Structure 1
C-alpha cells in the first residue's frame, strides 16, 4: 500500500503522529458530517477535532465506567501539540484513577465560588445585611413597623421644625462589619444609647435582635454571625432599662373638658383623629393608616390593619361615622394633609390637654382610656379585647367564641353613646353623615 503524500488530506480513519502540517490540512466534509477527528498515535485518546465550519481544537476522549468522556483541551492556534499531549496525559491519569475530569472541574469551581462568597461575606457590613433584611421582610410588615426600621437607622441631619434630625439609635452600627457585631459591641452601644434615649433604644434593640436571628438563618450570613444571638445579652437589657408601667388615662369626670378642648383644635383632621382614637380604642398607628376604602358604609364596619391578626373589622359607630365622613378627601388616607398619613399629633394633643387641665395624657393613653372607661358599663371583656385587637386571653375565648360585627356593634354603640353623654356632647344620630350637628351643653 502506497504511503500518503504529505500534501494529501489526512485520513481520519487512521491514527497518525500529529504534526502541524497534518493539522493544517485536516478538513471535514460539510455535506454529511458536523465534525471529524484525527487521532494521535503517541498519546492514545488525544484527537484533533475539526468542524464543518473549519474550526479545529485538541480534545481528549476515553471510556470511564462504560461511558465516553470527552474533554476539550483548547484551540490548535493556542495550544502546541506537545502542550496538548501533556494535558491529555494528565487527563488519562485522572480517568485511570476513576475520576471524571468534568466532575472534578465542576467541584473545584464550586469550591472556588464558595471561598469567594465566604471572603465577600466576611467584608459585608451591618448596613448591607440590614438592607437585604428589610427588602425581604417588608412585605410581611405593617406600615408602622417598616417605618420604625427606617427611622431607627436614619443618618439624621435633615431639616425638621427649624432644626436638624438626629441619627437613629441603630445608625452607628450600620458601618461596622457584620462579623464585628459581637455581644461586647452591642453592650457598649446599649450603655451609650440607654443614657439619653432609652425608649427608642429599647425598640431599636428589639429590632436588632430580630435582624440577627434572621442573619443566623440566612445562607449568606449564617457563617458570619454567632449561633447564639449576640443581642440577647443580660447586660444590654439592663443598660436599656425597663419600660415603666403607663397609667395615663382619661377619667370619667375629665371627658367634658377633654372633648371641648379637642373639638376646638383648628385642624379638623387632628380633632377627628383624637376623638376616633378614644372612641375605637385603636392603636395610634393603626388609625393613622386608615384609608377611605377601609370604611364600609353599607355594613357599618371599619377595617383596621393590626399587628396581631393582620387586620380586624370593628363597628363604624354613628358619631365616628359622622366625624370621618366630614373629612376632606386629600388622598388615600382618612387622616392626611397630602397623599401621606398625618404624623402623630402629640403636640396638638398636648396643647389641648393643657387647656383641659389633663396633664400627661399620651396618644396611647386614649387607647388605655377606652378599656378603662368600658368598665363603667360592665361591657364583656372579650368584646372590648376584640374591638381593640388584643389576643384572646382564654381557651374558650380563643377557640369557641365567635362574635359577628352586629354583636360588637350592639356593645360599641352603647359605649359611644355613654361617652358622649358623659362628655356633654349632644349628637343627633339621624343626621346625614358628613353634615354633623353637635354641640356641647
Structure 2
C-alpha cells in the first residue's frame, strides 16, 4: 500500500482513528481536517493524557484538555494551535491533569482566578475615584427619595462656579463656587479628618452658614458611602467629617430674629402689593399667610389646589405631604394668577417654568416699607409668632 503524502489531509473517517492516540506533530495538525458529516472532531495526543486537538467544520483548530471528574466530562480550551506550540499545550494539559488528580475542576480554578483579578482591578480603579464622581452617583441614586430643594442643595453646594449669574439683577459677576467645590477633585481615599477640618476652618471664616449645610450634606454622604459595597473600602469606619474640630470651625447657627410685628403688617402688605410682578406679590403673601417654607410655596402645582373642598396640598420636605386650608383671601390671590403651565407661581423667563426664590423683590418691598433684614424664611417665622 502506498504511503500517504505528507500534504494529504489526515484521514479520520474511521471511528478507531478518532479514539486512538496520535503522535502530534506540526504536520499532523496541519493535515487534520473535519469530515463533512461532523461539526467537530478531536484528535488525541499520545504523550500528554487529556490533550486533544479540536478541528471544526469551519477549519478552526485549537488545543483542548479533556478528562473525567466525578464521572463528568471536563473539557477546557487551551488555545489556538497557531498561538501555542505542541510542547506548551502538553505542559498545560499536564498541569490541568494534576489539578484533576487533586479533585479540583480546572474550570472553577480559572473562574476564581479571573474573579480575583477583576476584584483587584476594580479595587485599584476605586482608589482613583474622586469625590465629584461618587457625589454625582450619590445624588442620582438618592434623588427619587428627596424633594426638589434638597436635591438642589446638593447640586449647588458642589458647583464649581464661574458661570454667569442667573438671578435678576445679578449683573456680570460670575457665580461663586459652592462650599464643597474645593473638595470635589480630591480622591475619596484622601478625605481624611485632617483634610475636612482644614476645609471647615477655611470655609467657616467667610460663609459659615452655607458651609454648615454643606458639612451636614457631606457627613450624610460619607455615611451612605460606608454602606455601599462599591465605596465602603474608600472611607474609614469612623465618619471622617464627624470631628469636633470641624464642628467648632463652622460654629453654631444663631437664632434668627427676623419676624414681622403685628403693627408692621399693614406696611408690609402695602409694599408687597405694589410690586410690579403680581405673581411675586401673590407668592410672598401666600408664604406669610400659610407659614409654608418658601420652597414648598414655589413648588405648588395647580393640581395641588382644591377649590371644591378648599384645601392646598403641600409637599413637605420633612413629613412628605400635608394639607392646609385654602382661605378665601388666598383663593382670591391664586384665582387672579395666569395659568401658563403646571406651576401656580409660574415664570415665562425661568428655564423650569417656575418662579425662583424672589429674594430681591422682597428686599426691595421691605426697604420701601421701612423694614430691614426680613428674609423669606422670616415670613415663616412671622406666621408662627403672629398666630
| Structure-1-length-normalised TM-score | 0.80
Identify the residue that residue 28 of structure 2 maps to in structure 1.
Answer: 22
Identify the residue that residue 9 of structure 1 maps to in structure 2.
Answer: 11
Q: Distance in 1 between matches of 2:65 and 2:164?
A: 70
How do 1:29-178 residues align onto structure 2 when only pairs under 5 Å count?
29-31=35-37, 33-160=38-165, 161-162=170-171, 163-178=173-188
Identify the residue that residue 287 of structure 2 maps to in structure 1.
Answer: 277
How do 1:14-413 residues align onto structure 2 when only pairs under 5 Å count?
14-31=20-37, 33-160=38-165, 161-162=170-171, 163-338=173-348, 339-374=352-387
Contact 1:333 1:341 (8 Å CA) reproduced: yes
Identify the residue that residue 406 of structure 1 maps to in structure 2.
Answer: none
Q: Secondary structure, in 3 states, of the residue corresponding to 1:208?
A: helix
Contact 1:9 1:22 (8 Å CA) reproduced: no
Q: Distance in 1 between matches of 2:333 and 2:296?
A: 17
Q: Secondary structure, in 3 states, of the residue corresponding to 1:159?
A: coil
Task: Give, in angstroms, the shift of residue 349 of structure 1.
Answer: 1.6
Contact 1:248 1:361 (8 Å CA) reproduced: yes
Task: Give, in angstroms, the shift of residue 60 of structure 1.
Answer: 1.0
Task: Give, in angstroms, the shift of residue 115 of structure 1.
Answer: 0.8
Unaligned runs of 5+ in 1: 375-441
Q: Secondary structure, in 3 states, of the residue corresponding to 2:312?
A: strand
Q: Distance in 1 between matches of 2:199 and 2:369?
A: 41
Q: Secondary structure, in 3 states, of the residue corresponding to 1:223?
A: helix
Quick check: 169-178 or 313-322, which moved more?
Answer: 313-322
| Structure-2-length-normalised TM-score | 0.91
Task: Give, in angstroms, the shift of residue 312 of structure 1.
Answer: 1.8
Task: Give, in angstroms, the shift of residue 50 of structure 1.
Answer: 2.1
Q: Distance in 2 between matches of 1:18 and 1:173?
A: 64
Q: Secondary structure, in 3 states, of the residue corresponding to 1:190?
A: helix
Q: Distance in 2 between matches of 1:299 and 1:18?
A: 91
Task: Give, in angstroms, the shift of residue 4 of structure 1.
Answer: 8.0
Task: Give, in angstroms, the shift of residue 86 of structure 1.
Answer: 1.5
Structure 1 residues 290-310: Cα deviation after superposition (integer angstroms, max 9, x where no partner): 122222222222121111222
Contact 1:302 1:316 (8 Å CA) reproduced: yes
Task: Give, in angstroms, the shift of residue 26 of structure 1.
Answer: 2.9
Unaligned runs of 5+ in 2: none
Q: How many residues align?
A: 372
Contact 1:30 1:53 (8 Å CA) reproduced: no
Q: Distance in 2 between matches of 1:29 and 1:188?
A: 76
Quick check: 91-100 or 124-133, which moved more?
Answer: 91-100
Task: Give, in angstroms, the shift of residue 353 of structure 1.
Answer: 2.1
Quick check: 19-28 or 269-278, which moved more?
Answer: 19-28
Moved >4 Å (runs of 4+): 2-8
CA RMSD of superposed structures (Å): 1.9
